[in-house]
Amino acid sequence: MRWTYTPPPTTYSHSHTTTSWNHQRRAKRATGSTSWQKEGDELAVTVNPNLLGKIKKLGAFDISACFNCGNCTAVCPLSTEDEAFPRKMIRYAAVGLENKLLSSAELWSCDYCGECAETCPRSADPGAFMMAARRYAIKKYSWGRISDAIYSSKIAFYGSLAALSLFLAAIIMMFHGPVDLSSVDMFTFIPMDAVDKAGLLMGVFVGLSALANLAIMNRYVSQHEMSTAKGIKSLFSKFEALFKVIVNEVALQKRFHDCSDSIRYWAHLLLVWGFLGLLAATTLDYMIDAYSLQLSYYVPRGLGIVAGLALTYGSVYFIYKRFEGKEEYASYSHFSDWTFLLLLLLVGVTGFLLDLFMLADFPLAVYVTYAVHLIAVFNLLITAPFTKFVHALYRPLALLVQESKQIAEKYELKQELVQTAA
């Protein structure tokens, strides 16, 4: 079988022609990638020779030591015959198969328990590679290259957060309402209407950004993962896959439980449900004030206190582990990961304190804490589609695709058995 080199169409107008070696080398230098295909094939294989180097800069510092022995996949408690990670992911990066890496749902299956790093004979730390590869994927899935700016420059990232925080603080200081120190009147200090409008604008931006990024990810992952199956024929089966992911992976964090010690598992579960609880408490507050929901204020207050404690415990645990640095998963943290955890902690602490100060009727403490809480929430959510936070969406989608693929394959096998029996 003869091979032909296909220059990228954005650079060269001709394709499917045999070219000289010098021409190929010039094309490689010009584009930074190479496309090869067999004559008669429709799909070329694109190679990015700089892929591994880019991932190493995001935290996979030791991965060049890997000699592909497969030990990491053998010891991984989550790796199966259908999910051969991290070895396969490392191999994709080593040979420059960027599209293969970005379209693999297994990239989001790892929970970084650290077993692969502890048993790696070359100390290549495959788990750190998986985390770095995810950061690279977040950059590539992001619309407008916003994540590129976040992950590429610490100064630009923190400078932007500082500028946004100062701007929002200045707006609050200039336009806040009367400061009533005789009793707590939080929504006179910062009118609910103003918070609602600002929240709506931010929600539209965050929501559309998340949808755009999910669409980009889905285009990668779904095409690759479902390529070997015809898809799920039954609507019931589609809901079955969705139900399993929501219950087992989102609500119960089952895979995280299977590869983590109990303390780490509960800390992560409390982190997730603490954030969701604060979101629910905020929504109930809004419904009571905006739509006269017949519900006691003590319900969102109590929920906010419990959720704030849960979020605070979870974030403190993981921050402490990173400072301690004894666990494999905590030995290195990208600055964006640190920011994510610190913002979660600030949101949890201020939300918890806000409810306590309101119950204790400390007006000034309520107003100051409320302003800080709004700024922390704004920074956390406005960056959510472009930082580690977005793995809360990417991971369930990847697991949903995997679950859907397995159901589709079972369906096809069942159909084949029926046809054979007939």
Q: What is the pLDDT of residue 283?
A: 86
Q: Using pLDDT thresholds of 50, 70 and 90, give the confidence band for residue 234.
A: low
What are the pLDDT digits (tens) for 284-335? 887 887 788 888 888 988 888 888 889 999 999 999 999 998 888 888 888 9
Looking at per-residue pLDDT, the higher value among 95 and 44 belongs to: 95
Q: Is the pLDDT of residue 137 over 60?
A: yes
Q: What is the pLDDT of residue 220?
A: 87
Q: What is the pLDDT of residue 193?
A: 82
Gap between the terminal Cα atoms of the chain: 40
Ranges 87-96, 151-160, 174-183, 281-290, most confident? 87-96
Ranges 26-40, 216-230, 398-412, most confident? 398-412
Q: What is the mean pLDDT of residues 399-404?
A: 83
**Burial group, residue 391, by CB count within 10 angstroms (0-12, 13-18, 19+):** middle
DSSP secondary structure of 48-104: -TTHHHHHHTTT-TTGGG-----HHHHH-SS--SS--TTHHHHHHHHTT-HHHHHT-
Please report which helix (H) or strand (E) contains residue 209, including its range.
Answer: helix 192-225
Q: What is the pLDDT of residue 282?
A: 82
Of the candidates 356, 344, 256, the residue with the CA atom closest to the CA atom of residue 301: 356
As a whole number of angstroms, the distance between CA 27 and CA 236 comes to 49
- Say which DSSP state 285 is in: H
Q: What is the pLDDT of residue 356?
A: 85
Of the candidates 395, 318, 298, 308, the residue with the CA atom closest to the CA atom of residue 346: 308
Least confident of 40-54, 77-91, 265-279, 361-375: 40-54
As a whole number of angstroms, the distance between CA 214 and CA 211 comes to 5
Q: Is the pLDDT of residue 80 over 80?
A: no
Single-letter amino acid code for the residue at 102: L
Report the chain's C-alpha Rg in angstroms. 25
Q: Is the pLDDT of residue 165 over 50?
A: yes
Residues 226 and 238: beta-carbon distance below 8 Å: no
Q: Using pLDDT thresholds of 50, 70 and 90, give the confidence band for residue 261.
A: confident
As a whole number of angstroms, the distance between CA 225 and CA 99 comes to 12
In whole angstroms, how far apart are CA 358 and each of 294, 363, 396? 20, 7, 37
Q: What is the mean pLDDT of residues 91-119?
A: 90
As a whole number of angstroms, the distance between CA 396 and CA 417 comes to 31
Average pLDDT along the chain: 83
Q: What is the pLDDT of residue 233?
A: 52
Of the candidates 27, 82, 26, the residue with the CA atom closest to the CA atom of residue 410: 82
Q: What is the mean pLDDT of residues 337-355?
A: 90
Of the candidates 390, 316, 399, the residue with the CA atom closest to the CA atom of residue 139: 390
As a whole number of angstroms, the distance between CA 229 and CA 273 comes to 35
Q: What is the mean pLDDT of residues 362-391?
A: 93
Looking at per-residue pLDDT, the higher value among 414 and 248 belongs to: 248
- All domains of the chain, ordered by start, with CATH? 3-47 (no CATH), 51-141 (1.10.1060.10), 144-404 (1.20.950)
Buried b or exposed e, range 359-385, using 16+ CB within 10 angstroms: eeebbebbbbbbbbbbbbbbbbbbbbb
Provide the CB-side half-sphere exposure for 8 (13 A, CA).
15
User: Distance from CA of residue 277 to its chain's centroid?
Assistant: 20
Provide the CB-side half-sphere exposure for 337 (13 A, CA).
18
Q: What is the pLDDT of residue 136?
A: 95
